[in-house]
A and B are shown apart, each in its own frame.
Chain A
Amino acid sequence: MESTSKQFKQNTRVALDNTALQSALGKMESGFVTNRANAAARLPEFEALRDQARDIKNHTLENLDFYLETFEENVEASGGHVHWAATAEDARQIILDICQSVDAKTVTKGKSMIAEEIGLNAFLEENNIEPVETDLGEYIIQLRNETPSHIIAPAIHVVKDQVIETFQEAHTQFDPARSLEEPRELLDEARTVLRQRFFDADVGITGANFLIAETGSTVIVTNEGNGDLTQTLPKIHVVVASLEKVVPTLEDASAILRVLARSATGQEYSSYTTFSNGPRRAEDPDGPEQFHVVLLDNGRSELLGTESQEVLRCIRCGACMNHCPVYGAIGGHAYGWVYPGPIGSVLTPTLIGVEEARHLPNASTFCGRCEEVCPMRIPLPKLMRHFREKSFEEKLTPTAERTGLGIWAFVARRPALYQMATGLAMRMLGALGRRRGLFASLPMAGGWTAHRDFPAPQGRTFQQQWSARGGRRRAGE
């Protein structure tokens, strides 16, 4: 997928002016945030489970080669195939080859962020294969020619009236005068349209929430059941997943599942948790004839053993973005690439480079709410700071900012100079601002005063006043 992360500031302004988006984002606190808090409070061992989930992933990442090879062996043992894709391009080509091997015309898709990461839909279309998104949110944004703005609620930026409009335009087979006012009516219409697409599809592509090494299973969680129809009806089921999705055992997957839905939506479990094991066996009533797993690296293995390894624990629950006040202000598209919110602010510079994505780790107040709720205890602010250090070292930080910081640090490292300089400055500012108490504008402080008044200093600094009254300077003095 092409990135617009470099234009983050412009993207931000567009997002803040988008009234539909702002109204959609306004509901996040009362929805996701409250539901997660209630779900966590209902489970006494929730915090201990988070520790356990973190430890499982840490162990897996320390032994990633072993578990991936075990996974491959067990997939092959159950009659499936594993394809290793080093890059997005490799993954696209592997999937295209599989589709072309059965002369596929349409493929149904379950929700997959990895498919977004590798730009699969556009590539299939270029090759005359029609991808059909089957998750309701994904279906809506596919019709609108948009990308997901949230990793578990891809159409969170769309309001109901826009969905009605989109369906009226796209579903010309129905009576234009039909009612679509009720959400139920929209759902039923999407379901009717998609039902036939499920039957027609030659290949079904899903992502995976987990890959289980000991059994060679892939696992998806959904709330609509669309993933099941995607993977059981066509001749071929292709799973596309990044390699850090592997866990050692079924018990490990179960432990992490207990924190996944609670963190994501506040559900105890998603409505459907589906385990896939190879192609249809002779005694199975249904299932695909072929089962393929495409394992995508796309730069992830380079993170092993580095400070960024912790980001590979992510299970894509979306809790960090649900709780992020920056995401809550601008939504997902402003981030400019596949993954928005705090996890995106770390993943994006990791995967496409800090030069392209410099703004994302910088656009955070470090309020820490993401880390507070991350079920996998990923230290997101710390990782964002790591990228700030990287962009400072590589001199990607804007010159004005570097110069300002340099002057400030020079003075802050010299207390005597600092106290003289600040003493003078505050006396002046204080004298100028005393009567009104604040400034409506100040030279070089436009970023502040465009939106806020600037409170004036009281006058003499604390240090000057403390000296004047002969206050103690040292312990035991």
Chain B
Amino acid sequence: MTDKRPEVGLFVTCLVDLFRPGIGFAAVELLERAGCAVAVPEMQTCCGQPAFNSGDRADAKAIAKQVIEAFDGFDYVVAPSGSCAGMIAKHYPELFADDPEMIVRARDLALRTHELILFLADIRGMQEFDAAYAGTVTYHDSCSGLRELGIKAQPRALLEKVSGLKLVELPGAELCCGFGGSFCVKYPEISNKMVGNKTADIEQTGADTLLAGDLGCLMNMAGKLSREGSKIQVRHIAEVLAGMTDEPSIGEGQG
């Protein structure tokens, strides 16, 4: 075989796997269009962030070790989430700081791991998208992607290539939506105040579609918009870039 395509292991993320597999298939589609060979290791569940952020370091390490092993041998590991990619790329090495053998493997995986949009734009230099979307879109910067991985310009640059799509900036796009993993159920009133501020900003843009790169934030914002009776469609950016917007949007019924 003379196939020199980079081998990409897709880290599906637990939320995408369980709640919106369509994002995973959009990611596969985009990665293949970007010239990658994609495989999905079976031995993945979650990145371990719920344990890590709850102070349960032992379980976080066990799950991290499982991920490190599952993604051995790939040129790249790509996740359609800044939060999970940030966990692997920034926090796994921290978890194994006192384990001389595992830290080497954790750092190696960290260097190979990227968030999907950043990977497509910065690593693969993807320029062309065979996608169209008839709508006015606004974009929320999810915190981990923005602050841990520096994802800000990439999604906007890629969305510009989608024909028919009009992008309007979201005021306070960098403000947290109030999801925060288990935060939103442990401190629901504070979370509600934060997501309420966010949906007010979203409504103010006049956009008909809200996009972001993390399903947790998207489910939080979609759930609040829906509770408020809003008709704004909520989707992961990968669905739009891959032209896979036939499925109902997040929280939208099949009638």
Segment 445-477 of A: residues with Cβ below 8 Å from B: 445, 447-448, 450-458, 460-463, 465-467, 471-477
**Contact code string A408-450 (vs B, CB < 8 Å = 1, else 0):** 1101110100110010011000000011111010000101101
Known: A388-B54, A452-B223, A458-B22. A366 touches B143 (CB 8 A): yes
Does A461 contact B17, Cβ atoms closer than 8 Å?
yes
Q: For A425, list chain B residues within 8 Å (CB).
A: 18
Partner of B193, one of A16, A391, A447: A16
Bound complex: CA of A453 vs CA of B199, how far in Å? 14
Interface status of B99 (Cβ within 8 A of chain A)? no
Interface status of A158 (Cβ within 8 A of chain B)? no
Does B226 contact A368, Cβ atoms closer than 8 Å?
no
Does A364 contact B180, Cβ atoms closer than 8 Å?
yes
Interface size, chain B (Cβ < 8 Å): 82
Does B56 contact A409, Cβ atoms closer than 8 Å?
yes
Q: Quote the shortest CB–CB distance from B172 to chain A (angstroms).
A: 7
Q: For A454, list chain B residues within 8 Å (CB).
A: 219, 223
Partner of A461, one of B18, B39, B185: B18
Interface status of A190 (Cβ within 8 A of chain B)? no
Does A415 contact B190, Cβ atoms closer than 8 Å?
no
Partner of B39, one of A369, A415, A467, A475: A475
- Interface stretch (choices A236-244, A274-282, A325-333): A325-333
- Interface stretch (choices B41-49, B101-109, B155-163, B204-212): B41-49
Does A455 contact B62, Cβ atoms closer than 8 Å?
no
Does A475 contact B74, Cβ atoms closer than 8 Å?
yes
Does B253 contact A458, Cβ atoms closer than 8 Å?
no
Bound complex: CA of A397 vs CA of B38, how far in Å? 40
Interface status of A385 (Cβ within 8 A of chain B)? yes
Known: A367-B176, A453-B223, A471-B39. A447 touches B184 (CB 8 A): yes
Partner of B42, one of A365, A415, A457, A460: A415
Bound complex: CA of A436 vs CA of B254, how far in Å? 7
Bound complex: CA of A206 vs CA of B221, how far in Å? 46
Interface status of B245 (Cβ within 8 A of chain A)? no
Interface status of A195 (Cβ within 8 A of chain B)? no
Q: For B183, list chain A residues within 8 Å (CB).
A: 362-365
Q: Quote the shortest CB–CB distance from B176 to chain A (angstroms).
A: 4
Does A455 contact B19, Cβ atoms closer than 8 Å?
yes
Interface status of B192 (Cβ within 8 A of chain A)? yes
Interface status of B73 (Cβ within 8 A of chain A)? yes
Known: A329-B190, A422-B17, A458-B20. A445 touches B185 (CB 8 A): yes
Known: A434-B254, A451-B195. A366 touches B42 (CB 8 A): no
Q: For B176, list chain A residues within 8 Å (CB).
A: 325, 365, 367, 369
Q: Quote the shortest CB–CB distance from A255 to chain B (angstroms).
A: 26
Interface status of A81 (Cβ within 8 A of chain B)? no
Known: A364-B183, A401-B54, A476-B73. A460 touches B194 (CB 8 A): no
Known: A437-B251, A448-B185, A462-B25. A391 touches B62 (CB 8 A): no
**Contact code string B225-255 (vs A, CB < 8 Å = 1, else 0):** 0110000000000000000000110111111
Partner of B59, one of A9, A413, A456, A458: A413
Partner of A9, one of B48, B187, B193, B220: B187
Does A462 contact B192, Cβ atoms closer than 8 Å?
no
Bound complex: CA of A371 vs CA of B185, how far in Å? 24
Known: A409-B59, A413-B63. A457 touches B191 (CB 8 A): no
Segment 14-52 of B: residues with Cβ below 8 Å from A: 14, 16-22, 24-25, 28, 37-46, 48, 50-52
Q: For A472, list chain B residues within 8 Å (CB).
A: 37-40
Known: A437-B253, A438-B253. A462 touches B24 (CB 8 A): yes
**Contact code string A359-395 (vs B, CB < 8 Å = 1, else 0):** 0001111111101100000000000010111111100
Q: Quote the shortest CB–CB distance from A217 to chain B (angstroms).
A: 37
- Specify which of B17, B40, B180 lies most central, judged by the most chain A CB atoms within 10 Å of its CB: B17
Partner of B251, one of A364, A392, A447, A456: A456
Interface status of B166 (Cβ within 8 A of chain A)? no
Interface status of A160 (Cβ within 8 A of chain B)? no
Interface status of A191 (Cβ within 8 A of chain B)? no
Q: Quote the shortest CB–CB distance from A344 to chain B (angstroms).
A: 15
Interface status of A86 (Cβ within 8 A of chain B)? no
Interface status of A13 (Cβ within 8 A of chain B)? yes
Partner of A474, one of B73, B174, B226: B73
Can you sample 13 A-B contacts with CB below 8 Å?
A: A363-B190, A365-B194, A369-B174, A369-B175, A390-B55, A391-B55, A409-B63, A413-B45, A434-B253, A438-B223, A452-B226, A460-B21, A462-B25
Seed contacts A364-B180, A451-B224; 12 additional CB < 8 Å A-B pairs? A326-B194, A364-B183, A397-B55, A412-B51, A415-B42, A451-B191, A452-B192, A455-B223, A462-B25, A466-B40, A473-B41, A475-B75
10 A-B pairs with least C-beta separation: A365-B180, A447-B185, A392-B55, A452-B223, A437-B253, A388-B55, A462-B21, A367-B176, A451-B192, A409-B59
